Amino acid sequence: MVTHFQNVSASSGSAGSATGAKVQRGTVAQGQVVLPTPLNEGDVLIFGPVQLLDDAGNMVTAAMLSALTLTVWSQYGFQVVNGIDHVGILNAGRGALDGQGFLTITLGTADMAILNSQVRDEVHGMNVDALFLDGRRLLVLAVLFTVRALYHARKRTSSVQAASSAAAATLAELKI
């Protein structure tokens, strides 16, 4: 499943078959954003486009930056998820920043992993840091979201399958 979070509004809605926050392009991202809908582990997350602003409220464009980096972490020991630790996203890999300062981030299935197998829900964060051409470094976006573990469903399914197999073996022994 692909989940689109098109902006930072907390309203829930749907975009085609995807669920998530849905508002019009043009919402400005400043500070910390919390996505309202839990996402399943192994899903794809497309976050954006959101417009980035610097600390003075000015639009941030690719032409102003020497680097734009992404870090994805889990609340579980604040571990980095899937090696995404200050990975370059300035129109490369997981990120795209257009001429009007609208950023889109895509996290793939491996990026949406649960690190603590003992929990059902795990809070993850995305931090986007900008390094400006003038040498300033700024955290331009912080996003928190919940990843829901699917191991509970897998455990139930495998338990039912095991019980069915055991029942079939017992019936075979009894020749019923």
Residues 78-115: pLDDT tens digits?
A: 899 999 999 999 999 999 999 888 999 999 999 998 88
Q: Which long-range contacts (CB under 8 A, 24 or more apart) does 150-157 make?
A: 150/40, 150/41, 150/42, 151/114, 151/117, 152/120
Contact 74, 48 (CB under 8 A): no
Residues 37-89: pLDDT tens digits?
A: 888 999 888 888 888 887 777 888 899 999 999 999 998 878 999 999 999 99
What per-residue confidence (pLDDT) applies to 150? Answer: 81
User: Which residue carries 């899937």 as its tokens?
Assistant: 82
SS3 161: helix
**Beta bridge partners of residue 143, listed in sequence order:** 33, 126
Residue 162 confidence class, pLDDT cut points 50, 70, 90: low
What per-residue confidence (pLDDT) applies to 94? Answer: 94
What per-residue confidence (pLDDT) applies to 166? Answer: 55
Sign of CA dihedral 109, 74, 66, 54: positive
Which range (4-13, 24-33, 118-127, 140-149) has the least confidence?
Answer: 4-13
Q: Identify the burial level of 99 via C-beta atoms within 10 angstroms of its C-beta, where 0-12 means exposed, 13-18 middle and 19 or more buried.
A: exposed
In 10 A of CB 80, how many CB atoms?
Answer: 15
